[in-house]
C-alpha cells in the first residue's frame, strides 16, 4: 500500500503542475492530497472517503485532515481536467509498455441502482441513463465506460457516457490517440463501415470489429476467431475493475457519483503502474 500511495501522490502532483493549479497558501491540505485520498479510497476502502482520510492521517502519510463536509466540498470543486490529465499520463505509459500495435475497444456499465429502483432515483434522467446489459439480459440505471486498452490489459483512454447511449455512438467520443498502423479489435456493436473508413483515412488506424450475420464486409471464420481471442484481454480488464467496485457506490449528487466512478478506474491504473514498474 505504501508504494501505491507514493505513486498516486507523485502522479497527482505532476498533473497539478502540468495544469498550473496552485493551492491556496492558507490551506493545509493540497489538491494532490485530496486526489490521493479518493484514489486510495477507491482502491482499498470501497470508495469510502472518510475511512481513507482517517487511515492516511493516522499512518502519518498526511499531517492534516479535513472534516467530512469540507472534504466533500473540496472533491466537488476539483476540475474534471485534473482527472483527465491523470488518465492521459497513464495512457502514455500504457502505450509505451505495449509490446505490439494491437488494442481492444469495448464498454462496461457502472450501476447507480438496479432497474427496480429507477422510479426512486433523483440524480439521473432515466431516459438518458437507463441502459441494457445484453450479456445479463437486464436493465440498469447508471453510466457506461467506453474504453480502449492494450493487449496486455492496460487502459489507454476512456470516456464516461450515459447508460442508454449505444456503443456505436459513444465510440466516436474516443480520440483514438494511438500510434499509426495500430489495429483495434471490437465486438459486433462497433461494426460501422463509415467510421472504420474515416479512422483508417485520417489516423491510419484499423478498426476490426466482429461482423454481424447480415454484414456485407464478411470475414472468414478463422479471422473472426482470431478477433475473439484478441478481445479477451479487455474483458479480463473489465473484470479486474469490477472487482474494485462496491455493491453500491454511495453518492448524493450526480457529480459525486461520476468522480467516484472515475477514481475506481484510476485506482486500477495506478495499481497496474506499480506492478509494471
Dihedral over Cα of 79, 168, 241, 180: its sign: negative
The tens place of each residue's pLDDT in the chain, 277 residues long, gives 888 999 999 999 999 999 999 988 888 999 999 999 999 999 999 999 999 999 999 999 999 999 999 999 999 999 999 999 999 999 998 999 888 899 999 999 999 988 788 888 888 988 899 988 887 788 889 999 999 999 888 999 999 999 999 888 999 999 999 999 999 999 998 988 999 999 999 999 999 999 888 888 888 889 999 999 998 889 999 999 999 999 889 888 999 999 999 999 999 988 876 444 4
Please state, in angstroms and rounded to a whole number, the distance separating the CA atoms of residues 204 and 222: 24
> Domain map of the chain by residue range?
2-78, 100-248
* CATH number of the domain located at residue range(s) 100-248 in this protein: 3.30.420
Q: What is the mean pLDDT of the chain?
A: 90
Alpha-carbon torsion, ordered 122, 125, 127, 131, to 10 deg: -80
Please state, in angstroms and rounded to a whole number, the distance separating the CA atoms of residues 113 and 15: 32
Nearest to 249 by CA among 123, 132, 98: 123
Beta strands in 54-168 (DSSP E): 102-114, 130-133, 138-150, 155-162
Q: What is the pLDDT of residues 191-223, one digit of tens each?
A: 889 999 999 999 999 999 998 888 888 888 899
State phi, psi for 48 to the nearest 5 degrees: -85, 105
Please state, in angstroms and rounded to a whole number, the distance separating the CA atoms of residues 238 and 28: 37
Please state, in angstroms and rounded to a whole number, the distance separating the CA atoms of residues 6 and 274: 10
Amino acid at each position: 500500500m505504501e508504494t501505491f500511495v507514493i505513486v498516486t501522490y507523485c502522479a497527482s502532483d505532476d498533473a497539478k503542475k502540468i495544469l498550473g493549479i496552485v493551492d491556496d497558501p492558507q490551506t493545509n491540505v493540497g489538491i494532490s492530497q485530496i486526489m490521493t485520498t479518493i484514489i486510495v479510497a477507491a482502491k482499498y476502502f470501497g470508495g469510502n472517503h472518510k475511512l481513507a482520510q482517517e487511515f492516511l492521517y493516522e499512518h502519518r502519510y498526511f499531517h492534516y485532515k479535513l472534516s467530512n463536509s469540507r472534504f466533500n466540498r473540496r472533491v466537488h470543486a476539483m476540475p474534471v481536467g485534473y482527472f483527465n490529465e491523470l488518465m492521459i499520463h497513464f495512457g502514455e505509459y500504457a502505450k509505451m509498455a505495449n509490446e505490439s500495435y494491437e488494442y481492444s475497444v469495448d464498454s462496461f456499465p457502472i450501476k447507480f441502482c438496479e432497474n427496480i429502483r429507477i422510479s426512486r432515483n433523483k440524480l439521473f434522467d432515466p431516459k438518458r441513463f437507463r441502459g441494457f446489459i445484453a450479456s445479463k439480459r437486464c436493465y440498469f440505471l447508471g453510466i457506461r465506460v467506453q474504453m480502449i486498452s492494450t493487449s496486455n490489459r492496460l487502459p489507454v483512454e476512456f470516456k464516461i457516457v450515459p447508460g442508454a447511449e449505444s456503443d456505436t455512438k459513444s465510440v466516436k467520443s474516443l480520440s483514438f490517440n494511438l500510434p499509426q498502423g495500430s489495429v483495434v479489435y471490437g465486438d459486433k456493436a462497433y461494426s460501422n463501415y463509415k467510421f472504420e473508413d474515416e479512422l483508417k483515412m485520417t489516423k491510419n488506424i484499423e478498426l476490426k470489429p466482429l461482423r454481424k450475420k447480415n454484414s456485407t464486409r464478411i470475414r472468414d471464420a478463422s479471422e473472426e476467431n482470431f478477433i475473439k481471442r484478441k478481445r479477451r484481454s479487455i474483458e479480463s480488464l473489465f473484470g479486474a475493475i469490477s472487482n474494485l467496485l462496491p455493491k453500491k457506490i454511495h453518492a448524493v449528487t450526480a457529480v459525486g457519483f461520476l468522480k467516484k466512478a472515475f477514481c475506481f478506474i484510476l485506482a486500477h491504473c495506478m495499481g497496474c503502474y506499480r506492478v509494471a514498474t
